[in-house]
A = this chain, B = another copy of it.
Amino acid sequence: MVNIAILGFGTVGSGVAEVMEENAQSISHNAAEDIRVKYIVDIRDLSGSPFADKLTRDFSVVENDPEVQVVVETIGGATVAYEYTKRALLAGKSVVTSNKELVATRGHELLEIAKRKNVNYLFEASVGGGIPIIRPITQCLTANELDEIYGILNGTTNYILTRMITDGAPFAEILKDAQRLGYAEADPTADIEGLDAARKICILADLCFGKSVDPESISVEGISGVTLEDIEYARRLGCKLKLLGRAYRLPDGHITAYVAPHLISKTSLLSNVDGVMNGIVVHGNALGECMFYGAGAGKRPTASAVVADVIDAVKHMKARKYIGWEESEPGWVVNAEDVKTRWYIRTGSGLEKIGRAFGDVRLISYPGDYPGAGPGEYAFATPELTGRELSAKTSTMEIRSRFRIL
Contacts and interface: CB of A to CB of B under 8 A. Distances in A.
A295 to B, nearest CB: 5
Interface in A68-116: none
A231 B23 CA distance: 42
Instruction: Report the contact-size class of chain A (Cβ under 8 Å from the partner).
Output: 35 or more
B130 A23 contact: no
A37 interface: no
A304 interface: yes
Contact of A142 (B291, B308, B316): B308
A143 B322 contact: no
A30 B300 contact: no
Interface string A249-281: 000000000000000000001001100000000
A135 interface: yes
Contact of A290 (B124, B131, B139, B322): B131
A311 B142 contact: yes
Contacts of A185: none
Contact of A322 (B30, B144, B288): B30
Contact of A286 (B23, B311, B322): B23
Contact of A294 (B19, B289, B300): B289
A315 interface: yes
A135 B295 CA distance: 19
Interface in A3-59: 19-20, 22-23, 26-27, 30-32
A304 B286 contact: yes
B132 A141 contact: yes
A26 B130 CA distance: 28
A292 B290 contact: yes
A357 to B, nearest CB: 37
A293 interface: yes
B145 A308 contact: no
Given A141-B308, A142-B311, A143-B311, A287 B130 contact: yes
A375 B217 CA distance: 68
Contacts of A142: 26-27, 30-31, 307-308, 311-312
B287 A301 contact: yes
A20 B286 CA distance: 10
A62 interface: no
Contacts of A306: 143
A318 B272 CA distance: 43
Interface of A: 19-20, 22-23, 26-27, 30-32, 124, 130-132, 135-136, 139-145, 269, 272-273, 284-295, 298, 300-301, 303-308, 310-312, 315-316, 318-319, 322
